Amino acid sequence: MSFQFSVLASGSTGNAIYVATDTQRWLIDAGVSGKKMEQLLKSIQCDPKDLNGILVSHEHSDHIKGVGILARKFNLPVYANEKTWRAMEKDLGKIDTEQKFHFNLEEVKTFGDLDIESFGVSHDAAEPMFYVFHHQGKKLVLATDMGYVSDRIKGTIKEADVFIFESNHDVNLLRMGKYPWSVKRRIISDVGHVSNEDAAYALSDVIGDRTSRIYLAHLSKDNNMKELARMTVEQILREKDHGVGEQFRIFDTDPDEPTALAVV
């Protein structure tokens, strides 16, 4: 029971993930207000002052909105790569130098009983990266904000016990939607976001025998629906002979409500 997580918030309006072991409690991104972040953490019985730190994936506001506030209020260390620090510093407000740490791209850092591995993704940010968490032979993958899923990424994330994986938009909803063409083009580009279909095909290449849970994350508020994302992913995975509901289960995530604290 010592390796737990919750998707605190996930979607176009804000993203945050909680990962914990017996000795470690980490927040990955804080893309909602500081007040909302405190409420989300306390709803899963985590006091923000007990966090070991905040890991930042990239500088977009739906990932960093509450980072500066939490860091100052609870004296938390913040980790990001150098280019992300430069891109987001002006938006975080003042953070003491002693609280600023670098976590380089393609690096593994060990914090107590938790190994955290970073990997780069293709997205329109300074140097976006996400994380794989390793604890006592278990593997938890967080992978969102990707224009596409490269073979290099697949090699890093394959055969995880749990995937928190982007399923951003339905292509038809996006095409028919109200967004201007420039925004639609950005979303479907190689530095945009992964569609439901692309998520399913990527997952079919990385699911392993030990995979037990998949969380569909970062759904677009305007161009997707939970039921549609889940149905699309399930259908494609079944076509690829993966045992949905037998070998593993697929879960929704929400922009306002955290997922139940679960064991990897």
DSSP 23: S
**Cα gap 184→156, rounded to integer Å:** 29
CA atoms within 13 A on the CB side of 253: 32
Q: Tens digit of pLDDT per residue, the chain (264 long)?
A: 699 999 999 999 999 999 999 999 999 999 999 999 999 999 999 999 999 999 999 999 999 999 999 999 999 999 999 999 999 999 999 999 999 999 999 999 999 999 999 999 999 999 999 999 999 999 999 999 999 999 999 999 999 999 999 999 999 999 999 999 999 999 999 999 999 999 999 999 999 999 999 999 999 999 999 999 999 999 999 999 998 888 899 999 999 999 999 999
Predicted structure pTM score: 0.97
User: E strands within the chain?
Assistant: 4-9, 16-20, 25-28, 53-55, 78-80, 100-102, 108-111, 114-120, 129-135, 138-143, 162-166, 213-217, 249-251, 262-263
Tokens, residue 168: 């951003």
Q: Encoding tokens for residue 235?
A: 């259908």
219-263 pLDDT, tens digit each: 999 999 999 999 999 999 999 999 888 889 999 999 999 999 999
